[in-house]
Structure 1
Amino acid sequence: MNTDVNTDVNTIHGNILTPGGWIAGTLSFTDRVAGIDGSATDPQQNGGDYILPGFIDLHVHGGAGKDVMEGGDAIRTIAAIHARHGTTSLLATTMTAPPEDIDVALAAIGAVVRERRKGEARVLGAHLEGPYINSGKLGAQPNYARAATLAEVKRLETLAPLRVITVAPEIAGHLGLVRELADEGVRVQIGHTLGSYEDGVAALEHGAAGFTHLFNAMSPLHHREPGMVGAALAHAEYAELIPDLLHVHPGAIRTALRAIPRLYCVTDSTSATGMPDGEYMLGRHTVHKCMGGVRLPDGTLAGSTLTLDQALRNLVGMGLSVADASARVSTNAADYLGLPERGRIAPQAWADFVVLDRDLKLKAVYIEGECVDLNDA
């Protein structure tokens, strides 16, 4: 099989997860899916590999010792390590920071968006997680929070595509901005917020599309004060969640899965991803990786070391089917961004897919038809 030249038709065989269900057969592809031949199957009845849509991560801060806020080639290093864990496309995610730091990060993201190199996940644009958040709910964000203006957002958009922007809707002026950004096709997410249930409902009515790392850094659910979590559980179509089993208890994950139809998973991964225990940077913060977690010196969780292949295994370990778990790490995120040619294995979709064995361990990753070297240092 030749995957170096995308005009060549390549083939791979196994249990293929398609929008219409499982097919046991052959997937043909160039840089896009050329065809799927086979018959309907129940993969539990055979021993073949799983062929799933490539993973899509809409919240990535770092990996392999590199942080998005460094700018430069750090973005490429991050895109490469996540590709080796099955992520075929992602949003590079910024931190709350001084304007000059955000400019550096976005300029680097913009360069990578324009040119994907061999072995890198496709960087679709930026997730601007800060600085338009509530300083009273920073989580692991540095304290450079400030109110947003449309003029500033438009200037930042000249540096890189802003596909997702996190805002705290209770900040004065933000509801109007949510409407303006939503009208321009930006996915506005509610996060790092002290807002009430009513604030959340109002933001959704103004065009907010989702919630940033559901349950974390937002007002919690109480039966007399439902909070922002209550607004999400009662009204959201989409929300992102970190399924590392540290940020959110499995019981809360199950609650969200029942309540939010298109819940999707993100890693919120940091520079410590794929690295040994020790000190790393998260924006202007020093964070500590120990025993699989990443924390500030005061013990606050500060992102994760999760990768989406492990997220898939965690979901299946909780009892989700492979098909349902696949949607949570791929298709739902693609649909959230309005990308019908990603997140699914279908004719003319991008040839982004992963091959896993029966233990859900990665055997191969293809990005736009190109096979990724999983052993690349």
Structure 2
Amino acid sequence: MTSDGPTLDRLLLTGRLVLPGGVVEDGAVVVEGDRISYAGPRTELPDLWAGLPTRDDLPGDVTLLPGLVDVHCHGGAGGEFGPDADSARTAAAHHHRAGTTSVVGSLVSAPASVLLAGATALAPLVASGELAGLHLEGPFLSTLRCGAQDPAALVDVDLDLVDALVAAAGGGLLHMTFAPERDPSGSLPSALAGHGVLGALGHTDADHATCSRALSAVLGGGVRGGLPLVTHLFNGMPPLHHRAPGPVAAALGAAARSEAVVELIADGVHLDGATVQLVFDTVGPAGIALVSDAMSASGLDDGTYTLGGRDVEVRGREARLAEGGSLAGGVSTLLDQVRWCVTELGIDLVDAVAAAAATPARSLSLVGVGTLAPGSRADVLVTDRELHPVGVLRHGAWL
């Protein structure tokens, strides 16, 4: 990958270490090639690794996190995931440098020809490892809850189109967001499962019973042992009401039973902080995947950008359609969200990191990423104590 430096043979990193079981204040990570050989207390580091080279230019007091995993991302640094492969590479590199070492490229709803062109262009990026996979956000979505999706591109379920998209993606399609009311026969979850693709519930106006059936159908497909995703919970669906619980209650109930994972855009724009805290308290980090939903303006100044060909005005942390004002993705990175959760909301660091790494990886059965553990891929995010990035090791190479 063009953004990566040379792969190191052996390397020792030390600092505050974030592991699934807790924080090790005096920790060590040993990297050999593109794999982790040790992650734990420095006092327990075997002698054979004690004299390994380190990176001397890092600050003395760093925090070592697993590389983060974003399963819903549309772009960044002026690039967008779609038919232009070079633009997609720009977007992927932006998030890699920000510590998201595994990025699933998301395509917004569009005419079939555009989606097919996008899947075809991005398939080589998945094959090369630049992307962890692909996500289709539509086009089988509700026009009532379309958000920034182009309503003219939204259609009922078309299994022939699904077959064609899967073929164009060359095995890289991991999950697909759909509204169950667009699938009255209930055939989509099993059709996706037959291709090894996980269904994701979202952009829906369906009632609680319909959403619960759809989530159960996705779970029953047993795709790679993963869990159904709920696309950016609360956004693109009716609000929870005590007499009409709708998709939100269906999603929270499934996540609480360990039968689904809910995406949260924890950027301080899409959701109030108290809402994010509520979901962590209700389903825990094992049921949450933080996602950036980032569009092309991520990492850039305020201005006018596009998302799927639609004009978007970015002001501060908000990206909104120029026509209608709907939120149109975000501009944060996953590390921005982890930092906001920890420093502003008081969410435990281990929990926030799990929701940005281990849980999204588990939901899509991405192997060897999301945790610092022997045998895992050498994806290490090095931050300062305030969780600002100071170094990123991806596939065993410094970016």
TM-score normalised per structure 2: 0.86
Counterpart-to-counterpart distance in 2, 1:65 and 1:140: 18
Counterpart-to-counterpart distance in 2, 1:172 and 1:130: 12
Counterpart-to-counterpart distance in 2, 1:216 and 1:108: 29
Q: Show the counterpart of 1:66.
A: 79
Equivalent residues, number = 360
Letter in 2 for 1:6: T
- TM-superposed CA distance for 1:183, in Å, is 4.9
Asked if 1:110 corresponds to 2:119, the answer is no
SS of equivalent to 1:252:
helix
Specify whether residues 36 and 66 from structure 1 end up closer, same or farther in structure 2 by C-alpha distance, changes over 3 A only: closer
Specify whether residues 53 and 198 from structure 1 end up closer, same or farther in structure 2 by C-alpha distance, changes over 3 A only: same
Structure 2: which 5+ runs fail to align? 45-59, 220-227
Q: Show the counterpart of 1:260.
A: 283
1:25-54 deviation line (CA, Å, top 9, x unaligned): 32111201022353589xxxxx84210111
Structure 1: which 5+ runs fail to align? 42-46, 117-121, 373-377
Q: Show the counterpart of 1:305.
A: 331
- Taking only the aligned residue pairs, the percentage that are identical comes to 34
- TM-superposed CA distance for 1:4, in Å, is 4.9
Counterpart-to-counterpart distance in 1, 2:148 and 2:363: 25
**Moved runs in structure 1, 4+ residues, more than 6 A?**
none
Specify whether residues 4 and 172 from structure 1 end up closer, same or farther in structure 2 by C-alpha distance, changes over 3 A only: closer
> Is 2:252–2:262's contact at 8 Å kept on the other side of the alignment?
no
- TM-superposed CA distance for 1:17, in Å, is 2.1
Q: Show the counterpart of 2:236.
A: 217
1:265-288 deviation line (CA, Å, top 9, x unaligned): 001101111111111110021111
Asked if 1:31 corresponds to 2:40, the answer is no
Q: Show the counterpart of 2:168.
A: 159
Task: Report matched runs for 1:275-354 at 5 Å.
Answer: 275-297=300-322, 298-316=324-342, 317-354=344-381
Asked if 1:127 corresponds to 2:147, the answer is no
- TM-superposed CA distance for 1:324, in Å, is 1.0
Deviates more, 1:67-76 or 1:186-195: 67-76
Counterpart-to-counterpart distance in 1, 2:85 and 2:292: 22
- TM-superposed CA distance for 1:5, in Å, is 4.5
- TM-superposed CA distance for 1:170, in Å, is 1.5
Counterpart-to-counterpart distance in 2, 1:37 and 1:282: 42
Q: Show the counterpart of 1:269.
A: 294
Counterpart-to-counterpart distance in 1, 2:18 and 2:185: 41
Task: Report matched runs for 1:143-292 at 5 Å.
Answer: 143=151, 144-160=153-169, 161-173=172-184, 175-207=186-218, 209-236=228-255, 237-261=260-284, 262-292=287-317
Specify whether residues 369 and 205 from structure 1 end up closer, same or farther in structure 2 by C-alpha distance, changes over 3 A only: same
Cα root mean square deviation, aligned: 1.9
> Is 1:16–1:22's contact at 8 Å kept on the other side of the alignment?
yes
> Is 1:220–1:230's contact at 8 Å kept on the other side of the alignment?
no
Match of 1:91 among 96, 101, 104: 104
Letter in 1 for 2:118: A
- TM-superposed CA distance for 1:254, in Å, is 1.7
Letter in 2 for 1:102: L
Deviates more, 1:102-111 or 1:221-230: 102-111
Counterpart-to-counterpart distance in 2, 1:172 and 1:327: 33
Q: Show the counterpart of 1:10.
A: 11
SS of equivalent to 1:26:
strand
Letter in 2 for 1:354: L
